[in-house]
């Protein structure tokens, strides 16, 4: 099959492409820097810097993962615009081309995040939940999803990946947390009660391929492990795996001073469950946090 992928040099994109190449699939990656992307990815990948109708009509599956990392910089007005534009513009362009295509792809998978639900208490949230909390992460994801749903072709199935915190051996959330925890300086954030909905990178990739194979899956899909945990449980599990103490607490006021509005990502959460994945027969390799950390941290 022919795959067109945006965001192919990101954490999820690289892992997904590696899996597809092992299956001898043909992959084209849209990137701003062809030379850099070609070095980061296998030479078997075709890298392009511009989209055309030809690229759309020659793709069986389009997977849209592009977007400025949401937690890398303080949320200034400019950074907020960058976060939004990096998701919205490419999604709108892809949809316009799909709608113009005489031979549209059979599947359009577009990114989103559990941030669409906004901050929530401990109620269990599946894909039917609509009592969103209105804040920046909801605004970003809601428009991102609505743009993707503008695909008009009845031949194209649209899937929205509401992704949680992706755990990987190199990069992602663990990459940022390892050093302080290894030094024995890691600990709970705020009260530690906020729920962290996470997913192992291997399960993320496997779930994307499962979504492709399961013709009945469409619309929003929660891409999270079936057992979310509180920040306190997450922190103690990570410290235990590293054989380090977990004594410290980072107070909420300090995070607000250091990170501003972006501190909301760390201080609030959502108890998200992958109801659609489970009901469609998907089996998680790493359903619980202790097993995930054991696999990732040697």
8 A C-beta contact, residue 200 and residue 292: yes
Q: What is the mean pLDDT of residues 201-230?
A: 97
Overall average pLDDT of the 157-163 stretch? 98
Residue bearing tokens 């979310």: 228
Among left, alpha and beta (phi > 0; psi -120 to 50; other), residue 234 is alpha
Report helix angle 77-100 to 136-148, nearest 10. 10
Give Dmax (Cα) for the chain.
60
Quick one: fold of 2-164+200-224+273-284?
Rossmann fold (3.40.50)
Q: What is the pLDDT of residues 222-235, one digit of tens each?
A: 999 999 999 999 99
Enumerate the domain spans of the chain. Answer: 2-164+200-224+273-284
Q: With a cut of 90, say whether residue 270 has pLDDT above it.
A: yes
Cα distance between residue 123 and residue 233, in whole Å:
17
CA gap 73, 3 in Å, rounded: 31
Question: Which percentage of the chain shows pLDDT scores above 90?
Answer: 86
Each residue's pLDDT tens digit, 117-146: 999 988 999 999 999 999 999 999 999 999
Compute the distance between CA of residue 76 and CA of residue 21 in angstroms, rounded to an integer. Answer: 39
At 179 the pLDDT is 86
Residues with Cβ within 8 Å of residue 284, at least 6 apart in sequence: 200, 203, 225, 226
């Amino acid at each position: 099959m022919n795959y067109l992928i945006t965001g192919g040099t990101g954490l999820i994109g690289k892992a997904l492409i590696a899996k597809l190449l092992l299956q001898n699939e043909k992959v084209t990656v849209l990137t701003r820097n062809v030379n850099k992307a070609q070095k980061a990815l296998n030479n078997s990948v075709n890298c392009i810097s511009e989209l055309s109708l030809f690229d759309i009509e020659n793709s069986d599956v389009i997977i849209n993962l592009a977007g400025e990392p949401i937690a890398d910089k303080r949320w200034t007005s400019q950074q907020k615009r960058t976060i939004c534009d990096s998701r919205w513009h490419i999604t709108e362009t892809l949809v316009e081309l799909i709608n113009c295509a005489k031979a549209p792809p059979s599947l359009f998978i577009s990114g989103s995040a559990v941030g669409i639900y906004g901050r929530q208490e401990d109620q269990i949230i599946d894909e039917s939940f609509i009592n969103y909390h209105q804040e920046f992460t909801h605004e970003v994801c809601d428009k991102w999803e609505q743009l993707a749903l503008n695909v008009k072709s009845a031949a194209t199935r649209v899937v929205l990946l509401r992704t949680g915190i992706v755990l990987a051996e190199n990069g992602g959330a663990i990459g940022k947390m390892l050093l302080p925890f290894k030094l024995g300086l890691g600990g709970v954030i705020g009260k530690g009660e906020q729920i962290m909905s996470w997913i192992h990178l291997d399960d993320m990739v496997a779930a994307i391929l499962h979504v492709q194979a399961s013709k009945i899956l469409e619309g929003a899909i929660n891409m999270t492990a079936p057992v979310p945990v509180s920040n306190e449980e997450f922190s103690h599990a990570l410290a235990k795996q590293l054989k380090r103490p977990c004594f410290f607490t980072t107070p909420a006021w300090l995070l607000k001073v250091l990170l501003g509005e972006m501190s909301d990502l760390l201080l609030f959460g959502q108890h998200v469950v992958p109801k659609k994945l489970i009901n469609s027969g998907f089996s998680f390799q790493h359903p619980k946090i202790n097993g995930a950390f054991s696999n990732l941290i040697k």
